[in-house]
Amino acid sequence: MECAAAVRTPHASHVPAKAHISLPGGGNYTANSTFQANLHRVLSSISDNAPNDSGYYYDTAGTNPDKTDGGLQCIGDFRNCNRCARAATKEITVQCPYNKESAIFYDDCWLRYSNENLSSLIQVEDPTIYFSNTLNVKNPDQFTSVLLELMNRLLVQAALNDPNFFSTGETNSNSETIYARVQCTQDNISRSDCSSCLRSAVFSLSICCYRTKGGTVIKPSCDIRYQTYRFYQSEAIPPSRSSAPPRGISPSNTNSTRAGYLGIKEMLIDCYRTNNSYTFAGQETRSTTTVVAVVVSTVIAAILLTIILIYFYRRRRKATKKKVDGNAKDMEEMGSVESFQFNLKTIQDATNNFCEADKLGEGGFSIVYKGILSDGQEIAVKRLSKNSGQGIEEFKNEVQLVVKLQHRNLVKLLGFCLEGDEKLLIYEFAANKSLDHFLFDPIKCTLLDWERRYNIIGGIARGLLYLHEDSRHKIIHRDLKAGNILLDVQMEPKISDFGMARLFGVDQTEGETCKVVGTYGYMAPEFAMRGKFSVKSDVFSYGVLTLELISGQQNKCFFKSDHSEDLIRYAWRHWEAGTSLELIDPTLKEQYSSSQVIRCIHIGLLCVQEDVDLRPTMTTVVHMLNRDSISLPVPSRPGFFINSREMNIGEKHTAEENQSLLSDQSMSSISNNELSMTALYPR
């Protein structure tokens, strides 16, 4: 059992608050054993010899199987580390008794010991402990963007340039100054591992601490923190104006703090603090800082199951059963889904009457707002245009198709409101917005490492498989793109926006329309040119998405120096040349599985083949992703139809002219448009 205890201590007043979490690890030792004696020697050595200033101290005792390694890391700008060391070496065996692998974290130092060589225990991912301020910022998107820029700058400084793997800095967001600190341990960690650990921590920070004024993420090999007041001693780079409270003031002195273990529902529990020292004897007062409860794997499973059951129970209760006052004809057509209706007043209250500050995004037919229901549940409200005839058709289509779909990789429609002129769709809230928000942003893309991209590729495939074959109806999405892939708090992908979707009969394999919908760059050639769509149209779009996730580039915006090569053509050229890894996003910096990347490129090219019959089904795609032993067929030439010359959206063409234009590859990427075979209309 590995035990990690996080202890929050302000530098000046030294008033600690404790948090503990128990994690799977290296087993236990017994009282009066050889391991305990070796541990005592190591902890005594650290307590007596730790540096007073910043630095790292390491000692070891004994031989296997009773060998003990211990290391103390002082925060880079702290000047009283030996005092922190004495407290940590005393407290770690109290909070984590008889554990062969333990760690304890203070604001000023970290202590860790193990029955394995610490230099071989570099951990850049889990376990992850976090603390977040309960005060929120006014403009979270801008604040987060500025914060991530600062964190990435400090990350580069600490991981690549600073001899102590440490950096602090500050920046401004509107009227507030953001102060941040990053640091890796100095236990023989490589600069590459330090960079990986800090990037993982920054990603965790964007999940646990979104819209909050302060946050800390602790991993065994690194730590990051930010606040809107100055909490460190060293000079920030670059210097700027300061609006910080006095250094002796801690978050636990001024307001409450959330804490948790990523992947587990956060718990708000009072924790203990002591008077003006690092010792933990004589605990007298309580703070509003929170702690993470000690949990074991079986309890985690029970907690998660309970949370899921409560969530679905409470969500169903929120759907109001009142009848709408508005369009009776529309309600009659929607028939059996009336039980999912929300009251308009409920949604107006949840969105502050559709406040501009709560707007998440905007399309041709709708605006999406964030809302909070009276019980605290976060929702996304899609408000369709009041004057669009196309909008009401999209509205009814989306409700009737999606309301009964149940899959972890499909966004969940909680209900709707059709009252007066208002047409509202109420969805579960996706904390991390859409995939394009991360993938095509030069800074935020660094939060998508290969493991997360690979998981997104698999999640989208499973969601499409459900739509095509595993749900009660066969559904063709027809507008699959990065902007319609939402990401939840765990970065799990969820397919959204079913306004253009179509329902197929059990034996139906193909449909045809004179009105082509979707987004150029993702649209299959047979759909764009002839209006023919099938499950293979979605497969083509999935192939484009896969290549975009690998490259970090948009197909519709990807043109090389000759201005005639789109992403699909570029990927195909490198595939034929045997240089497929040239496609990969350079921000991944070789931290990926080459075999996985090449296999995903292979699958992507199979999906974008021009011959519809040669494209795999989503069942086959999921099997290809899950089983490396399955041999993949050789892909044939993709369907090329995107070029750099643009067609004006208002320009009219006949069906034959459209097909000629597309065949000649003179159609550009036109995003978010619905077009007939004779004219183009913006969505």
For residues 443 and 552, state if they share a domain.
yes
pLDDT in tens, 387-435: 655 566 667 767 877 777 889 999 998 989 988 888 899 999 998 889 9
Tokens of 585: 């996003």
- As a whole number, mean pLDDT of residues 521-548 equals 88
Report angle CA 189, 194, 200 to the nearest 5 degrees. Answer: 135
Same domain, 581 and 600: yes
Lowest-pLDDT choice from 72-76, 429-433, 641-645: 641-645
pTM of full prediction above 0.85: no
Q: Are 476 and 533 contacting, i.e. CB atoms less than 8 angstroms apart?
A: yes
515 annotated ligand-binding residue: no
Gap between the Cα atoms of 301 and 628, Å rounded:
29
Q: Is residue 392 part of a domain?
A: yes
The total number of structural domains that make up the chain: 4
The pLDDT of residue 403:
77
Residue 280 lies in a domain: no
601 has pLDDT over 90: yes
CB 120 within 8 Å of CB 21 = no
Q: Does residue 281 fall inside a structural domain?
A: no
State the angle between helix axes of 594-607 and 535-551 in degrees (0 to 180), rounded to the nearest 10: 150
pLDDT above 70 (res 595):
yes
| Whole-angstrom distance, CA of residue 184 vs CA of residue 599 | 34
Lowest mean pLDDT among 46-50, 280-284, 308-312, 352-356: 280-284
Asked whether 626 and 455 are in contact (CB, 8 A), the reply is no
Q: Are residues 419 and 458 in the same domain?
A: no
Which is it for strands 673-676 and 101-105: parallel, antiparallel or unpaired?
A: unpaired
3-state secondary structure of 250: coil
**Using H for helix, E for strand and C for coil, what is the string for 11-67?**
CCCCCCEEEEEEECCCCECCCCCHHHHHHHHHHHHHHHHCCCCCCEEEEEECCCCCC
Highest-confidence segment of 146-155, 334-343, 357-366, 518-527: 146-155
CATH for 383: 3.30.200.20
Stretch 498-505: mean pLDDT: 76
| Exposed / middle / buried, residue 175 (Cβ in 10 Å: 0-12, 13-18, 19+) | exposed
State which of 269, 285, 302 marks the end of a domain.
302
Give the E-state strand segments of 377-534 in sequence order.
378-384, 413-419, 422-428, 474-476, 485-487, 493-495, 502-504, 511-512, 515-516, 532-533
Tell me what pLDDT residue 544 has.
Answer: 96
In DSSP terms, 20 is beta-bridged to 5
Q: How confident is the model at residue 481 (pLDDT cuts 50, 70, 90)?
A: very high
Residue 604 predicted with pLDDT over 90: yes
- Comparing 543 with 290, the larger pLDDT belongs to 543
566 falls in which pLDDT band (50, 70, 90)?
Answer: confident
Final residue before a domain boundary, out of 269, 287, 302: 302
Amino acid at 372: I
- The answer to whether 581 and 592 are in contact (CB under 8 A) is no
| Distance in angstroms (rounded) separating the CA atoms of residues 111 and 90 | 11
Lowest average pLDDT, out of 26-40, 101-115, 383-397, 519-533, goes to 383-397
Q: Reply yes or no on whether the pLDDT at 333 is more than 90.
A: no
Query: Is residue 387 located within the same domain as residue 447?
Result: no
Q: Are 413 and 402 in contact (CB under 8 A)?
A: yes
Instruction: Please tell me the predicted confidence (pLDDT) of residue 239.
Output: 32
The verdict on residue 267 lying in a domain is no
Per residue in 36-58, pLDDT tens? 999 999 999 999 988 777 678 88
Q: Domain of 246? A: 129-261
From the CA atom positions of the chain, what is the Rg in Å?
A: 28
Statement: residue 649 has pLDDT above 50? no
Three-state SS at 4: strand
What number is the average pLDDT over the span 149-155? 89
Q: Which of these ranges, 97-106, 409-418, 518-527, 554-563, has the smallest mean pLDDT? A: 554-563
650 lies in the same domain as 566: yes
Give 560-615 as a DSSP string. -TTS---HHHHHHHHHHHT-GGGGS-GGGTT-S-HHHHHHHHHHHHHHTBSSGGGS
Backbone φ, ψ for residue 47 (5° rounding): -60, -40
The answer on pLDDT for 499 being more than 60 is yes
Domain match, 27 and 103 both: yes
Residue 310 and residue 388 in contact, taking contact as beta carbons nearer than 8 Å? no
Mean pLDDT estimate for the chain: 74
What type of residue is 443?
Answer: I
- Return the pLDDT at 364: 65
* Residue 564 burial (CB count, 10 A): 14
User: What is the full DSSP assignment across 631-667?
Assistant: PPPPP--B-----SSPPPTT----HHHHHHHHHTT--
d(C-alpha 609, C-alpha 605), whole Å: 6
**Active-site option among 107, 223, 479, 585:** 479
pLDDT at 580: 94
pLDDT at 116: 82
Say which DSSP state 434 is in. Answer: B
CA–CA separation, 93 and 91 (whole Å): 6
Residue 350 confidence class, pLDDT cut points 50, 70, 90? very high
Nearest in space to 401 (alpha carbons), one of 507, 495, 475, 321: 475
Q: What is the pLDDT of residues 285-332, one digit of tens each?
A: 233 333 333 334 444 555 666 666 666 556 555 544 443 344 444 545
Q: Where are the beta strands (DSSP E) in 137-263?
A: 166-173, 176-184, 215-219, 222-227, 257-261
Please indicate whether residue 628 or residue 667 has the higher confidence score (pLDDT). 628
Closest residue by Cα to residue 592 from 487, 420, 470, 450:
450
* pLDDT score of 599: 97
pLDDT of residue 344: 94
Report the DSSP pairing between strands 673-676 and 680-682. antiparallel
Query: Residues 407, 524: one domain?
Result: no
Q: How far apart are the two ends of the chain, measured CA to CA in Å?
A: 56
Phi then psi dihedrals of residue 539, to 5 deg = -60, -40
Shared-domain flag, residues 396 and 537:
no
CATH number at residue 17: 3.30.430.20
Q: Is the model's pLDDT at 336 over the cut of 50? A: yes
Please indicate, yes or no, if residue 657 is contained in any of the structural domains: yes
Q: What is the CATH number of the domain that holds 486?
A: 1.10.510.10
- Please report the pLDDT score of residue 337 as a whole number: 58
pLDDT band at 646 (very low <50, low <70, confident <90, very high): very low
Residues 494 and 599 in one domain: yes
Q: What is the 3-state secondary structure (H, E, C) of 278-302?
A: CCCCCCCEEECECCCCCCCHHHHHH
Least confident of 53-57, 471-475, 513-517, 659-663: 659-663
Residue 551 has pLDDT above 60, yes or no: yes
Over range 470-483, report the average pLDDT: 87
pLDDT at 347 over 90: yes
Based on the domain organization, do 210 and 233 belong to the same domain? yes
Last residue in a domain, options 428, 460, 483:
428
Closest alpha carbon to 379 in 401, 351, 355: 351
Q: Are residues 217 and 362 in the same domain?
A: no
Q: 29 vs 142, which has greater pLDDT?
A: 29
**Is the pLDDT score of 124 beyond 60?**
no
Are 672 and 519 contacting, i.e. CB atoms less than 8 angstroms apart? yes
pLDDT of residue 226 exceeding 60, the answer is yes
Q: Is residue 268 part of a domain?
A: no
Residue 169: which pLDDT band, with cuts at 50, 70 and 90? very high
Helix (H, G, I), strand (E, B) or coil at 234: coil
The reply to whether 79 and 25 lie within a common domain is: yes
How far is 50 from 73, CA to CA, in rounded Å? 9
Which one-letter DSSP state was computed for residue 269? Answer: -
Task: Give one DSSP letter per residue of 54-73, joined into a string.
Answer: S-EEEEEES-TTS-EEEEEE
Three-class secondary structure of residue 111 per DSSP: strand
Over range 265-275, report the average pLDDT.
25
- To the query of whether residue 479 is one of the catalytic residues in this protein, the response is yes
**pLDDT given for residue 6 in this prediction:** 47
Percent of the chain residues past pLDDT 70, beyond the cut: 67
Q: Outline where DSSP puts E strands in 310-365.
A: 359-362
SS3 675: strand
The residue ranking higher by pLDDT, 335 or 38, is 38
Q: Is residue 154 part of a domain?
A: yes
C-alpha span between 326 and 337 (Å, rounded): 16
Question: Measured at the alpha carbon of residue 214, what is the angle toward residues 209 and 219, in degrees to the nearest 5?
Answer: 65
Per-residue pLDDT, 41: 95
Residue 620 lies in a domain: yes
